[in-house]
Structure 1
């Protein structure tokens, strides 16, 4: 089979997503695949293919599709390691989709027909296993062919799949080594924005860090000794005070889970609620609160928290987390833009909905689903939410605004606009030491700005956040 170089977009240097059929021809007599017993490793890969298809074809957010998948009988029947494999295969395929498409394009000669079924996600997951995850070639090839044969529309491409997967097993790693992952995996419009904001060199570093799998970080309850628990969990105590786990596994099996000693929260996200300072006895509104990490932090430090979110489903998760942690909060389902509680608060925390470009390493689907238009739309929403949030702050109280976006329109520019419109608020600089941040994470204006490459490479990065602390006169 001839190798065809991927056609490159002249503007951004990215390959068009060519898909090939390798000559598969639909026969009028073709019959759908017959049910056959599942071989070892197949159920996990079947779920991974369905999950990846939901994200790429139906544009479902990965978290939403994952939540649905985890409730299925097929997923619950998997062993713990195979459950983790499902997530790994999908996340790797999304994170490195541009590179994987370029590898596959070398061996695909013709565009695939519209009725290809799930052939594309099958090929992507197969290529990810061979070129990125170093899984046994024989098993990956056989399982990929079996996946195709079980698909009602893709089954006629079994010979193509066998040929392509064999070629990827032989040449995929060497081809991948010669590709520019940043250029291929990060949308051109997003990389250009980062270059404009942070400079070309820093933008590449941010992109490279965003393309790495994020580890699991834990925030401890204030009563827990961080050093002792880092040792118990065989984890790393970060400069921020969070514990970074060195290996995965079911959270329920990790010591301290049942006792409510810790909750999962990225090390950067853990800094946000600390920007409110000492909250003991304060009446605090946590807006856009779900899934509850910031609520837990505030409640564990003695605040009287009102946790508000629009999503009933997400609030159910928040309540479950608080129950496990033995913490209390008033939980309210409401639209933050119009919520009127009939009172003001000592402090208000608004962790606003955003493009989440600082969390790509945890949400690789954002690379495929976010657009530049989303940033403009979300910036307008943030302005609206800030307008209502400021009304909820009592005189002399605090308003803390945060987003997990790297885009200035959702951070620095948003606060500059707000302060120009509200003379009764002033910026109160954040002290790095008091919240566990490194000094160079504080901007010249006194705000917190973390970037995905802000920790040394050996520490595996951190999510990108922006936080501003505002005092009302």
Structure 2
């Protein structure tokens, strides 16, 4: 097996899938299985294989079940290997002979012959995947009428979105980077670009941030008002895209997060962009501020199901238990943060989740005065909900490459 140059990447992909589907790890956590591969290309291939399996898992299993006399158990190793074999052939364009040579060594004896036979049957049939991935039934039930347009947007990983430090340079950066802009201060590029090698990275002219993730901070407006710099508390701030936005908009920013490791990334981005913020490593459920703030941005911990385009693992490891756990934390954070506002201050609550239990249901518990989002505050093609909230999903702006799923609500004291 060591003489097979493609084998290590496939073995790493198999380990990653096992970590996600059996142990409930995130794909990012499971990625450690690929870190020991010596070549960047092999690490990227392992991630690509695992990601495509998770994106198309229901449809891959349907093909496998249609080519076996008796259904394979969900956790059977031959099924796992067949999933990654089919993903390579049908999604990554790997020739069947190369798939067989690099994946079958993952199995021994009878299971190897079984996998070889099923894969050969499917290739001879000219098996194909549907136009869009099929969502797991429990996920489709939760998302209800939104499920179909969301699924239609999940067939491909998302493009690369950048938020600019200076929104007045949007046209110039779109031209220099060869991208398109969907809103002032935003540039979108095709996926696959090496971020660190793009113009403007070293001088901190921009940072990576999905266009949906950039909207909540915009809902607080500029930091300068009535001749003074206003204060803002960015709760659950790391990895820091919203902190950078607020600092660039002129706010006096206090960024708080419980994770010291994630705050190191924010510190590095502040240094790269030349922006500044006070950083606190604290648990917002236990921390007590020594002052009140003109504004608070609560980008609360959540299930992150809205990021399913880039993190398809959430389709398979998030269920009612995780959703309710996160919603409980969000309600408690919103209640605490509401007491830290100055009179006339604004609070924006946001989650990158597609679950109404984490968005609308949590917002309904707020005790502050609603401050509805207006149509003019959103990128072209988006509109507030009838309640004046923001609700995006991956099926929106589909002709331009889509966006993450987000919910945001705003109130005043």
TM-score normalized with structure 2 length: 0.91
Deviation track 1:285-310 (CA, whole Å, cap 9, x = no partner) reads 11011111101111122222111112
User: For this pair of structures, how many residues does the alignment match?
Assistant: 409
Deviation track 1:446-465 (CA, whole Å, cap 9, x = no partner) reads 2222222121x331211111
1 CA distance for matches of 2:111 and 2:357? 46
Larger Rg: 1
**SS of corresponding position for 1:342:** coil
Paired residues of 2:237 and 2:243 also in contact (CA < 8 A): yes
The CA deviation at 1:158 is 2.5
Q: 1:87 to 1:370 in 2, by over 3 A?
A: same
1:208 aligns with 2:152: yes
The CA deviation at 1:194 is 2.3
1:168 aligns with 2:122: yes
2 CA distance for matches of 1:114 and 1:347? 49
The aligned residue for residue 63 of structure 1 is: 28
2 CA distance for matches of 1:155 and 1:302? 65
The aligned residue for residue 188 of structure 2 is: 244
1 CA distance for matches of 2:341 and 2:91? 50
Q: 1:233 to 1:415 in 2, by over 3 A?
A: same
Q: 1:377 to 1:37 in 2, by over 3 A?
A: closer
Structure 2, unaligned runs of 5 or more = none
Q: 1:223 to 1:40 in 2, by over 3 A?
A: same
The aligned residue for residue 458 of structure 1 is: 399
Q: 1:207 to 1:111 in 2, by over 3 A?
A: closer
The CA deviation at 1:119 is 4.1
Q: 1:241 to 1:216 in 2, by over 3 A?
A: same
Paired residues of 2:58 and 2:136 also in contact (CA < 8 A): no
Q: 1:100 to 1:329 in 2, by over 3 A?
A: same
2 CA distance for matches of 1:109 and 1:316? 53
The CA deviation at 1:401 is 0.6
For 1:78-157, list aligned pairs within 5 A.
78-79=39-40, 81-110=41-70, 118-148=77-107, 154=108, 157=111
The aligned residue for residue 298 of structure 1 is: 246
Q: 1:221 to 1:368 in 2, by over 3 A?
A: same
The aligned residue for residue 191 of structure 1 is: 140
Paired residues of 2:163 and 2:209 also in contact (CA < 8 A): yes
1:73 counterpart (20, 33, 36): 36
Paired residues of 2:297 and 2:348 also in contact (CA < 8 A): yes
Q: 1:114 to 1:298 in 2, by over 3 A?
A: closer
Superposition RMSD in Å: 2.4
Moved over 6 A (4+): none
2 CA distance for matches of 1:414 and 1:395? 22
Q: 1:235 to 1:43 in 2, by over 3 A?
A: farther
Structure 1, unaligned runs of 5 or more = 1-35, 149-153
The aligned residue for residue 257 of structure 1 is: 201
Paired residues of 2:132 and 2:154 also in contact (CA < 8 A): no
**SS of corresponding position for 1:348:** strand
Q: 1:46 to 1:230 in 2, by over 3 A?
A: farther
